[in-house]
Structure 1
Amino acid sequence: MEWIQMPLGPLQTNAYILYNKNLNCLIVDPGEEPGKIKSFIDKKQLKPAAIVLTHAHFDHIGAVDAIRETYDIPVYLHESERKWLGDPQKNGSAHFEGIPLIKGADPDHLFSEEGIVSVEGWTFQLFFTPGHSPGSVSIYFKEEKLVISGDALFQNSIGRTDLRGGDHDLLLKSIHQKLLTLPEDTYVLPGHGPVTSIQNEMNSNPFLHGF
């Protein structure tokens, strides 16, 4: 499997495009700039299978409908945020000046259980990692030694918890119980900023010490 990190939009939210030898691809968090996403897909001649969302804040969903309609693919999201795509109050786009209101279509499928899941031919382990938002999930590919953490865990930082449904203590609990239990050589692909690793965050992330 190969993957690319693609920072998009004014907040430089990281979208991820994962693809295999058959050129099937999974699109995670297409937050903005659908043309940039389409350009990469077309250049590589990829075949999109689905969109998976780590959560439904506005900066992670801005290009969802454009990509969904272009490739006629389903969108997967945790059930706790099933109405967020179409509600600017819930997805946060109504609360930031200069941000267009996002009112997208509902997700096609909802995650309701943790564990090994299959999404349109892709198999990975799903962790519920709430705290930044109530429906935040992390996506773990064991063989590739990588986890897409959304806005739960960043390099030397953690997600903000002052938005709708945020809970600082719950976020720290999610990180410690779900992410820091992964092998230390696991790459962490965050929702913002550079790629890091479980080992790096265990050793140097100031927000995780003393919990």
Structure 2
Amino acid sequence: MKYKKLTVGPVQENTYIIFNNNQEAVVIDPGSEGNRIINTIESLNVKPLAILLTHAHFDHIGAVDAVREKYKIPLYLHKKESDWLTNTKKNGSNHFGQNITANPASHLLSDNDRFLKIGNFSFEILLTPGHSPGSISYYLKNAGAVFSGDALFAGSIGRTDLYGGNQEILLKSIHHKLLNLPEETMVLSGHGPETTIAMEMDSNPFLGGF
């Protein structure tokens, strides 16, 4: 797996374009700056197969429609947030005086879904609620990488003061789902730099006692 990270929008959200040797690509959390994301896809000469959302907060969905309409690809999201794309209160944009929406997802994931195969990509779906009720982390075992959305950051964890957030649930998600991954696993999060599970176990101040 190869990936390109684009940090976009006013809150510096990380959008990922991941691709393989077959030039197949998956776009994770196209948050803003749709033209820039599309131009990067074109420059990489890859073929997007799908968009995956770790969750549906406004800073992760702002370029969904631009990318989806350009490439005519499906959008995957947990069903607990199926209406967040069109609800500015739930997706948090109205909290910041904005009106950011996207069209509904074509594919809704459930708590029973454990794996997702798209082209030659095989994702393990890790349910990591707490930052939001339907937060998902996508684990690529063969690549040794997890896309954690806003659950786990380098040296921090996701905020839980927005609609549906719960810090106790988030800490349990991190402990039971993410910290159980191999320690060398690269954590590619929704904001900030890359890290590893080992680094967060050793030094993340929010994870003391786990």
Q: Which runs of 4+ in 1 moved over 4 A?
A: none
Q: Does the 8 A contact of 1:114 with 1:128 survive in 2? A: no
Q: Does the 8 A contact of 1:86 with 1:106 survive in 2? A: yes
Aligned residues: 209
Distance 2:116 2:17 in 1: 18
Q: 2:110 matched to 1:109? A: no
DSSP-derived class of the 1:38 partner:
helix
Distance 2:203 2:101 in 1: 39
Q: Does the 8 A contact of 1:114 with 1:127 survive in 2? A: no
Distance 1:44 1:95 in 2: 36
Aligned to 1:52: 52
After TM superposition, the structure 1 stretch with the greater mean CA deviation from structure 2, 37-46 or 59-68, is 37-46
Q: 2:24 matched to 1:24? A: yes
Q: Deviations over 1:178-200 (max 9, x none)?
A: 00000000000010000000000
Q: CA deviation at 1:148?
A: 0.3
- Output aligned runs, 1:157-196, within 5 Å: 157-196=156-195
Aligned to 1:122: 121
Gaps of 5+ in 1: none
Q: Deviations over 1:10-59 (max 9, x none)?
A: 11100110001111100000000011111111111111100000000000
Distance 1:103 1:202 in 2: 36
Check 1:120–1:110 CA distance in 2 against 1; reply closer, same or farther (3 A cut): farther
Aligned to 1:96: 96
Q: CA deviation at 1:121?
A: 4.8
* Percent sequence identity over aligned pairs: 54
User: Over the residues paired in the alignment, what is the CA RMSD in angstroms?
Assistant: 1.0
Gaps of 5+ in 2: none
Q: CA deviation at 1:143?
A: 1.0
Q: CA deviation at 1:120?
A: 4.9
